[in-house]
Structure 1
Amino acid sequence: MGNCFGTHPVNISHSQCTSKPPSREQTDEEKRNGFEGISPEKGKGKIYNNNTPADAMATAADVPSSGKIVTPNLKMFTLQELKQTTKNFRPDSMLGEGGFGRVFKGWVDEKTYGPTKAGTGIAVAVKKSNPDSPQGLEEWQAEVKFLGKFSHPNLVKLIGYCWEDKQFLLVYEYMQKGSLENHLFRRGAEPLPWHVRLKIAIDAAKGLTFLHSSEKSVIYRDFKASNILLDGAYNAKLSDFGLAKFGPINGHSHITTRVMGTYGYAAPEYIATGHLYVKSDVYGFGVVLLEMLTGLRALDPNRPSGEINLVEWAVPSLENKKKLKKIMDPRLENKYPMEAAIQAAEIIKKCLHSDPKYRPSMDKILETLEQVNAIQENPKKKSCSIKTKPNNKQQQEHHHRSPLRFKHNGTRGARPSHY
C-alpha cells in the first residue's frame, strides 16, 4: 500500500464535498462522523450514495469518457470473515504497515468473496486500521468514498470493507509486484528497465488523467512512488485515497485545506499557502518521474547537504544533455534512447514549474509520454556508447535500506508499505 496517514478537517464548503445534499436529515451520530456516505448500523458501516439507494445504477451523465463511475456496490465483510481470510491476521501474512495500520494478504472465493484456504480462489490485500490511530476512521471513509465510486484500470480496485467493533478494514485486489518505491529503492531489487519505467509512468498518468477529468475533478494529493502499485505484468495502479479531495467548483482555481501529504512530493504553493490545485498533483508526478530517471529518492537525509532534496539538486542538470546523462540511474546501464530521456527531462521541468498555472495538464503529459515511448534506441549509437561507471553516491543510494520518516509543515513521510 501507499503510506496511510490521517486526514484532518479542512476549510472547504459542504457543496465542494458532495455532489448533492442528502435527501434526509442526518442523525447526530452521523454528523459527529462528519461523512455523509456512511451511517452506523449496529456497530457496522452501511454505504449509500448520498440521496440514492446503494444498489442504484449510475446515470449516463455520471460516466466520463474513459473508465466508469459506479455506485458503491462493495461487499460488506464481517470481521470474522476477514479473520478467516487472513488466518487471523497472522504476522506471516502481513504485507506492510502504514499510519492507517497494517495490511495482510488473504484469500477469497472469486465469485462470492467468501473466505477460502490459502492458495484457493483469489488473493486480496486487507488493510486493518490501528485502533490507536486517530486518523483511521477518516482515511477509511475517504477510501470508500472515492474507490467505491470510481473504477478505472489504473486505480486499485476496492472489493469491500468492514466496520465492526470499532475496527475499520478495507479489502483490495492484491498487487503481486508491490510498490514502485520498492522496485526503485529497495536493496537487492531487480532494476527496472527503461521501457518498464516508461510503461509505469504512462499507466500512472492515465490514472491521474481519469481523476482530473471526472465530472467533479478529484485531486489525489499524495502522488508518490509508494502509492503506485504493480500487478504481475507491471501494470501500474494508484492506491491510497485517504487524502483525496474533490477539486474546486464554481470557477474557483483551488480549494483551501490543511497541508497534508508527503514532503518532497507536495507542491510548493500548497505547502506555503494551503491552496490545493488540480495541478498540485502534476508537481508530484514530476517528482516521481525524476525519481524514475535518476533512481534516487525525492528526499534522503543521508545524501550530502546539497543533494538531500532531489528536485533542488537534479533540476539544473535537466537542461543539459551531458549533465542529464550523469544523473541518470546507473542501473539502467545506458540502455535507453537518449532522445527519450531528454524529452522525459523536459516533461519533468514543466511539471515542476513553481507556478501551477504553467504546469501542463495530465492529459497533455500522457500524450507526450506516449510519444516518448515511441522513441526507439538507435542500435548504432548503443554499440558506440561508453558506459559510465556509477558514482559511489548513487551506488550507496541504491543500497540505502532505511525508509524516510521525514516530516515538515504537517506533511507526512514515506514508509515501506503496500496499499
Structure 2
Amino acid sequence: MGGSPRVVISTGQALPDMDWTGELAGLTDSWPYLGPTWLRATEKVLPDVQPWHTLAHRARGELALLPGYILTTPPVVDHEPRTYLGWQAPSGEEVCCGAETDAARSAEVDALGTEPFFPTLLLGSPLGYRTEVAYNFWTPTLMGSIVDKLVPAAFEAGIRCIIAPWIPSRRGNDALVDALDAAGASSTFWGYEDFMSLDAPNWEGHLAALPLKKRQRIKGDVRRAEAAGVTIERVDGTDIRPYVDRIAELTCLNREKNGAGEEPAHIVGILSALIDEGADVRAYLGYKDGALVATCVTIRKNHRLFPKWAGFDYAAIGERSGIYFALVLDAPVRDAYAEGLRTVEFGAGAHQAKALRGCTPREVTTSMLLSDPALRPQASAWLDAFGNSRSVAFGAASPAPAQPANLPLLGGSGDSGCCG
C-alpha cells in the first residue's frame, strides 16, 4: 500500500523520553534549548509552571515537539503576556531587550486585570527565549496541524491566553506564525537574534573577508581586553563544575543591569543538568588580578555553537573594557573555525553591536491569542503598538544599521546582552 505515514498529534503531554545523545541523533538541527535535556532542567528550576507540550509522531522515531508551559499567576516579565501589550510591571522590570513603554497604554492594559490572561499557555522554551518546533520530519501541513490541534485543546483546558513570544524567522516558522494568525492570533515584531555563518576557511580568512571597519573593531576589542588586564581561558564539560555558581552570579548581574530577570538557581540547575548529561558545554573564563570577573558559556550541538550565558563584574572591569566582545564573540568564533563548525548562534541581545562585528540578524516575531474573541481587536492594537515601538528602538528601516544610534533600547549597550 502507498501513501504517506499518518501524523498523530497529542496535546498536554510530558516530555518525550530522550537523552542528550538521543537529541544529537534524533533532533539534529534543533536548538538545544528546545530539547528534552534543557526542558527537563527547566521544569525542575521552575516548579510553578505546568508542562503542557504538544507532540507529533509519524512512523518510528519521527517526532515533532512544541514545548508549552501553563502559567496560572503573573510570572516574571519576560513570561508575562501583558508586557507584550505594552504593560509596565509595578516592579519596573522590563521585558528582555525592551523598548520604553507608554504609561497610558500600560494603564489601559492594567485596567483589564489578570482574568483575561491567566492561565496563560507560553509556547516555547521560557529560559531559552525561543518559540519553535523541534522536529526530525517535515510535511507542508505540519505546523498548521499542530496549531489546529493545540488551540482548541488549550481553550478547552481553561487557558485564557496563548503567547508565543519568540518565533525566529527560520525555515518553516513562517508557517507557525501563519497558523496562529489563522486561529485568531495577532503577531508583531519582537526583535532580532544574531548568528554568524562560518564561510571562510579559517579565522584569519574570516577577518580578512570582513569590511575594514568591522575588522578594526574586532581587533580593537581584543586590544582593549588585554589593556584591561583580563586574561581568558577555556574549560569544558565536567571541569566547569567548580565555576557554576560564579557563572550564574555574574550572568544574573549582567541581566539585572539590562532589566531582565533571571535567578542564579535557574542557571545553576540547567547548566548542571547539561554537564550531567554529557553535553558539549564550554566555559570561557576571564580573570583579572587572579579573580574571575567575566564568563561566557557555550553549547556545541553537532555543527553549530550556541553562546548562551555571559556575565561580567563591571565594578572590576568597567563598562567599556571590550571584554564582552573578546569573550562572547571572538573566542567562540575562533574555536568554532578551528573545529570546522558551520554557524555560531549568538541569540538576542546587543544586536547593533553584534551586527557591527559581522553578525547577521534574524527577525523574531511574537504571537498572542486570547480566548475571549471580544478582546482580540484591542489586544491586537496594543500588540501592534508594542511591536512598532520595538521596531523603532531596533532601528526600524534596517535590521542591521550601518551605525549605532542613540535609541531608547534597553539592554542593548555595546558591552552587554540580556537574553543571548
User: TM-score, structure 1 length as denominator?
Assistant: 0.27
Higher RCO structure, 1 or 2 (CA under 8 Å, sep 6+): 2
User: TM-score, structure 2 length as denominator?
Assistant: 0.27
